[in-house]
Amino acid sequence: MNLIDLHMHSTFSDGTDGPEELARTVKKAGLSAMALTDHDTTSGNEACMLAAKANDINFIPGCEISTKSEYGSHHILGLWTPENNRELELLLAKTKQARTERNKLMLEKLRNLGIDISEKDFPNVEIDHLGRPHIANYLLQKGIVANRLEAFDKYLGKNGLAFAPKHSPTPEEAISLLAKSGATPIWAHPCLDKFDPAECEMLVRRFAKAGLAGIEAYHSKHSPEATEMLLKLAHKYDLAISGGSDYHGKNKPEIFPGIGENNLSLPESILQNLISRRKSQGLPC
């Protein structure tokens, strides 16, 4: 059976594999298809696509947009993101700017806490690509925290001492813009850090009205109960099912391509189903 991975990060966001390297990693893992879904950018897609092609891997260009509602933060994956879509590029440029400002503020807050850290400590990462997992890794390497969990609990998480909020679009804005651009909007890891079936269903209904096409039921951090609940929701609201590891290379070393934390096995039929839904809408695949 061919296995796939529809949620992966490269150095264009907070992954540690460059886009070409990522395609080779996927090849080594024996997968037949992959999607690149960097946070708030599509910039790695072209290089990754070329490398994927050279390695005989079916490549789906994508991105993962960070959004916020009154219920918290929600990540929306766009699969089959188009090239040169003005509105999508504008939204991503705005979020990039917000990330840059947020990163500068968080590094300043860390310095004010007596930690010697600056942009220069991330020579291989542009400030607009820097993510909190990079900073967590740095704090771990310097022995300032004992593990990544402590980095988020103490400094980088929502209640952390160095946290700074980042302006984000609403989930509905991201979903409708992705849908309008011809991409397939998927709600990424709905149960990443909470399991609330009632809230989840209410949000699925809301997101579906904005044009949501699918739910990422299979994800490294989903419990079997969460996955089952999400599969039922997808069925109930006639949404597609998606799945991915959320591979970040060395920034999340417990996650492996395709198998996540050893709990995933994503068959190619997931991708085939997404493709037939797109075809029935006349969208390119």
Q: Which C-beta is closer to Zn ion: that of 77 or that of 210? A: 77
* Least gap, CB of 133 to Zn ion (angstroms): 10
Residue nearest to Fe ion (CB): 75
Do 203 and 168 contact (CB within 8 A), yes or no? no
* Least gap, CB of 228 to ligand AMP (angstroms): 22
The residues of the shown chain that bind ligand AMP, judged by CB under 6 A, are 14, 39, 66, 131-133, 148, 152, 157
Our finding on whether 75 is near Fe ion (CB under 5 A) is yes
259: its two tokens? 């198998």
Stretch that binds Fe ion, among 13-21, 111-119, 172-180, 268-276 (CB under 5 A): 13-21
Looking at the DSSP bridge assignments, the partners of residue 79 are 62, 184
* Residue 285, amino acid: C
Q: How many helices (H) and strands (E) does the chain have?
A: 9, 7
Segments in the chain forming alpha helices (H): 19-28, 45-54, 86-112, 132-141, 148-150, 171-181, 197-210, 224-236, 268-280
Cα–Cα distance for residue pair 245/52, rounded to 1 Å: 18
In angstroms, how far apart are the furthest CA atoms of the chain? 57
Q: Which C-beta is closer to Fe ion: that of 51 or that of 77? A: 77
Residues whose CB falls within 8 Å of the CB of residue 83, separated by 6 or more in sequence, listed in order: 42, 45, 46, 61
Q: Which C-beta is closer to Fe ion: that of 32 or that of 37? A: 37
* Least gap, CB of 56 to Fe ion (angstroms): 27
Q: Which C-beta is closer to Fe ion: that of 172 or that of 216? A: 216
Q: Which C-beta is closer to ligand AMP: that of 2 or that of 118? A: 118
Interface residue with Fe ion among 5, 6, 14, 47 (CB under 5 A) is 14
* Least gap, CB of 154 to Zn ion (angstroms): 23
The residues of the shown chain that bind Zn ion, judged by CB under 5 A, are 64, 246
